[in-house]
Amino acid sequence: IIHLGDGVIGYMEGSELKVASNPSNGEFVNTTTFITSSDAVKCMKVMKGFLGNINGFVLMTDGTSTSLYQKNSGALSGVIGEIFRYMKYLPHKVVEQQVQESLELVVKRATQDDCGIAFLTNAAKPFDGYLFLTVSEKADLLGIKGRGLKKRVKRYDKILTYLSTAKSQIQLSRYLKLKNKYVRRHLNRLVNMNFIEVTREGYRTILILSREY
C-alpha cells in the first residue's frame, strides 16, 4: 500500500473494520501533500504485509471520509462494513448503483471536496449463492434466532425464491397462504436488509440465490 494525502485506506479483516492508513494533512488546516509536491516521496506512507484473513480494502478521498470516517476516534463508519457485506451477497452492479446514490444524496451534501471511493474484495472467497448455504448459515445471514429456526428459514427460502421475478404483495400472500399483515412484515424486513427491492412490477429478490440461477 502506498498512501499520500488526506484520504483514508481501510480494510475488512474477518468481520472487523480496520484502518490501514489515516489521513495525512499538511502544515495548515485543510491542506495536504499532493503528488506534484516537491516533498511527495518523503511524505508517502508505504506498507506491505500478508492478506491473511483480510476480505477487502476500501480507499476514499477526503470528501468521502467526512461522512464515512470518524476523525476523533480514527475509525471507519459501520456503513463501510455493510457495503462489504452487500458486495458479497448482492450483484456488484446493484451495490455500485446504491453506493453512487448514497454519494449523491448524502456524502456529497456534507462537503465541498471531491467525493471518491473504491472497494477491492477478495475474489478467492466466492459466494455461490443463498440457496447453497446451510440452514444455520441462512439463519445467521437473515438474523433469525430462537425457536422454530428451520421452519422460519424455510419460509424465507420460499419468499426469496418466489420473488426471483417481481411479484405483488397480494400474489405472495396467496402463494404463502398467509395474511397480508404478516407478509408485509416479512417484506419490510427483507427490504430493510437490502435483500429485495421494490420495483414498478412489485417486489423482487436482489440477493444472489445461485451463481447459476
Is residue 161 located within the same domain as residue 113? no
Is residue 9 located within the same domain as residue 111? yes
Write the CB contacts of 115 (distance below 8 Å, at least 6 apart in sequence).
61, 63, 64, 103, 107, 108
Residue 88: per-residue pLDDT: 86
Three-state DSSP state, 151: helix
Per the structure, the complete domain to which residue 81 belongs is given by 2-121
Write the CB contacts of 198 (distance below 8 Å, at least 6 apart in sequence).
191
Return the axis-axis angle of helices 169-176 and 180-192, rounded to nearest 10°. Answer: 120
| pLDDT bracket for residue 6 (50, 70, 90) | confident
Is residue 112 located within the same domain as residue 7? yes
Is residue 42 located within the same domain as residue 99? yes
Q: What H or E segment, with its residue span, contains residue 18?
A: strand 16-21
Indicate the residue among 121, 153, 169 that finishes a domain: 121
Asked if residue 55 is part of any domain, the answer here is yes
Asked if residue 212 is part of any domain, the answer here is no
| pLDDT bracket for residue 212 (50, 70, 90) | low
Residue 28: per-residue pLDDT: 46
Asked if residue 211 is part of any domain, the answer here is no
Three-state DSSP state, 45: strand
Higher pLDDT, 73 or 24: 73
What type of residue is 34?
F
Is residue 106 located within the same domain as residue 137? no
Higher pLDDT, 106 or 35: 106
The three grid cell numbers given for residue 87, joined into one nine-digit string? 458486495
Is residue 115 located within the same domain as residue 11? yes
DSSP result, 165-193? S-B-HHHHHHHHT--HHHHHHHHHHHHHT
Q: How many domains does the chain have?
A: 2
Asked if residue 92 is part of any domain, the answer here is yes
pTM across the whole model: 0.76
Residue 126: per-residue pLDDT: 74
Asked if residue 213 is part of any domain, the answer here is no
| pLDDT bracket for residue 201 (50, 70, 90) | very high
Residues 118-159 have pLDDT tens digits of 999 887 667 889 999 999 999 999 999 888 899 999 999 999
Indicate the residue among 54, 88, 121 that finishes a domain: 121
Residue 44: per-residue pLDDT: 86
Is residue 108 located within the same domain as residue 193? no
Residues 165-183 have pLDDT tens digits of 999 999 999 999 999 999 9
CATH of the domain at 194: 1.10.10.10
Cα–Cα distance for residue pair 104/98, rounded to 1 Å: 10
70-74, 176-180, 182-186: range with lowest mean pLDDT: 70-74
Residue 213 has pLDDT above 80, yes or no: no
